[in-house]
Amino acid sequence: MSSDPLPYREFYYPLNVFMHILTHEEGGVSALHYGLFASPDEGIAAAQERSTAMLLERLPPPPARLLEAGIGLGTTLELLTRIGYDVTGITPDAQQIAMVNERYGDAVRVRCAKFEEFDEGATYDAIVFQESSQYIASEALFARAKALAPLVVVLDEFSLKPIDTPGALHALSEFLEAADRHGFEVTEEVDLSAQAAPSIDYFTQRFPRYRNALIADLGLTSQQVDELIAGGVVYSGRYADGTYGYRLLRLERRT
Ligand SMILES: C[S@@+](CC[C@H](N)C(=O)[O-])C[C@H]1O[C@@H](n2cnc3c(N)ncnc32)[C@H](O)[C@@H]1O
């Protein structure tokens, strides 16, 4: 156990906010990805586990060699390792690496690196992006992926309609064009938008209740809390009108 009662305090904003709320609501945080809800009243932990289960179903069987890009807190990495995969996990965030080391020690193999720059001279049977592809330019992602593995599995959210807003999600069309340019074809696409959207509401409903805790414990300003609430409403609206959506994508390199 960490001696720091808030080991995620210095995690980048707003990740620290999500972790604070999950810690208080759920008694801990195991994942930084959306839940995929079977029903709106399902618990978020069960919904998050569904995401990982869907990912696992798309992978070659163990002991395949995997690269997990963007490991977050390392929960999926530890699971993949435990069930027999030969897996390396990467994240460019040293604080996440420290937390994963503290949680799992030598039981998992981690490297502090950006995917688009990662090169250990190894190749893999598959690369997994569980809500990390959105942080990597699509062109750079597939340029690197084609040298590393014949299979890419992605769970992530995208812009489905044109949106001219700074910081908007990657356009799915551009992501798929980049994949195609680098020799990958989509062999499966599952629209999970409706199942993912309740994750946004989970937090938006709770921000007002956690206003004081977020200010006192994480040093947010009241204005930042207002912005989180307003931002959540806008985000939710983008899912509702189809501007944003969530996809599972399986992409195979053409031979
Ligand atoms: C939303 S979190 C998801 C974490 C984890 N996959 C999960 O599902 O809980 C995004 C992850 O992507 C990582 N990330 C951001 N930029 C990256 C990059 N250029 N290369 C690899 N990982 C990156 C972040 O550090 C973080 O671990």
Among candidate residues 55, 65, 218, 243, the one with its CA nearest the CA of residue 150: 65
> Which ligand 1 atom sits nearest the alpha carbon of residue 73?
9
Nearest residue CA, atom 15 of ligand 1? 135
Report d(CA 111, CA 71) in Å as an integer: 10
CA distance 124 to 27: 35
Q: Provide the whole-model pTM.
A: 0.95
Q: CB within 6 Å of ligand 1 — which residues?
A: 31-33, 69-72, 90-93, 96, 114-116, 130-132, 135-136
> Mean pLDDT, to the nearest integer, of 230-251?
96
Q: What proportion of the chain, given as a percentage, has pLDDT over 70?
A: 98
Q: Check pLDDT > 70 for residue 4.
A: no
Please name which of 179, 219, 253, 188 lies closest in space to residue 9, comparing C-alpha atoms. 219
Q: Taking the C-alpha atoms of 118, 34, 87 and 4 in order, what is their torsion angle to the nearest 10 degrees?
A: 90
CA R_g for the chain = 18
Q: What residue owns the CA closest to ligand 1's atom 23?
A: 70
Q: Give the pLDDT confidence of 183-214 residue by residue, as tens digits.
A: 999 999 999 999 999 999 999 999 999 999 99
Atom number of ligand 1 nearest to Cα 30: 9
- In the reported structure, the alpha carbon of residue 119 is separated from the centroid of ligand 1 by a whole-number distance in angstroms of 17
Q: Three-state SS for 129?
A: strand
Q: How far is CA 147 from each of CA 45, 116, 126, 129, 199, rounded to the nearest angstrom?
A: 35, 11, 11, 16, 34
Coil, helix or strand at residue 134: helix
Nearest CA to ligand 1 atom 10: 132
Q: Where are the beta strands (DSSP E) in the chain?
A: 65-69, 86-91, 109-112, 126-130, 151-159, 184-191, 244-253
Across residues 17-32, what is the average pLDDT?
A: 91
Query: Would you state the structure tokens that stand for residue 80, as one six-digit string?
Result: 């993949």
Asked if 74 and 99 touch (Cβ cutoff 8 Å), the reply is yes
Indicate which atom in ligand 1 lies nearest the CA of residue 136: 19
Mutate to test the pocket of ligand 1, among 79, 103, 132, 136 (most ligand atoms within 8 A of CB): 132
Separation between Cα atoms, residue 253 and residue 63, nearest integer Å:
20
Q: Domain 15-30+42-253: give its CATH superfamily.
A: Vaccinia Virus protein VP39 (3.40.50.150)
Ligand 1 centroid – CA 71 distance (Å): 6
Q: Rounded to the nearest 5 degrees, what angle is found at the Cα of 122, between the Cα atoms of 120 and 126?
A: 120
Asked whether the predicted pLDDT for residue 2 surpasses 50, the reply is: no
Provide the percentage of residues in the chain whose pLDDT is more than 90.
91
Domain residue spans of the chain: 15-30+42-253
Judge whether residue 1 has pLDDT over 90: no
The CA 225 to ligand 1 mean position distance, Å, reads: 24
Q: Which has the closest alpha carbon to 178: 198, 203, 152?
A: 152
Q: Residue 12 and residue 19: Cα distance in Å, rounded?
A: 11
